[in-house]
Structure 1
């Protein structure tokens, strides 16, 4: 095993759990914390950056996960605002608030049913306001793959909402 692989291997064994616990304090969701920490390790590895020591890598990982967690919290706030806005707009456009809840539920269920990468790309782009390039960089995908994921998500949403979108 080369020095870089050994450094990352030791860092993963030493720091993965403590960093997850640190991030979970902010996310209140261990699965989400683990995903953010895994992304930080992946990005550090993919960047090809050489770290002088385990301590430098540890500091990088803590800072990286902290920044990713702040972005995640902003995204969650945007999603909540979008859901509240959607509920009121749907109620105004399509009748009672109960109808708006029904439409919102269909939208949420459709988004939840999307494959993970497709759902994440769609949420980052449409709810998070990120451009395709930013989504691609965040997820480690090509811009074209992000475009395909968002397109598939929109198609599935149109299909699930066809009864509400067609004029009566």
Structure 2
């Protein structure tokens, strides 16, 4: 008893084209390339069906297996990219927090220093010690002239050193 297997290759080609358009719309280039390879295989199988239909089935099956392997590979790549993205975001957030803390402490320190200097200046004026008042004014001007942002460049350079530790 002989069975006749009928393949509608035109329908397979149409479905493959639709799948390719769907993959293209999703931006999945690796899967899109594999779908194009599958379409070529189906086209070759259509022309080879007159010779041996089992060869055609083998070709389609192999192309389908290859497609699934590519899908898994692309899925793994996307997961790796997402993991790298999350790690980079965590590093950026940690750096942001560290710089924020550094700047907050720097400005707090400057505020404390300036407050003490102004109190001392006031005491020097009340006591009539003009030499001390002049020295304190010079020190206040020096503190105000220096920017804490200038120190940030050296802090950044130190932070990039793997051996760097920050004592808070």
Name the TM-score class by shorter chain.
Answer: 0.3 to 0.5
Structure 1 length-normalised TM: 0.32
Q: Which has the higher contact order (CA 8 A, sep 6+)?
A: 1
Structure 2 length-normalised TM: 0.32
Task: Pick the structure with greater CA Rg.
Answer: 2
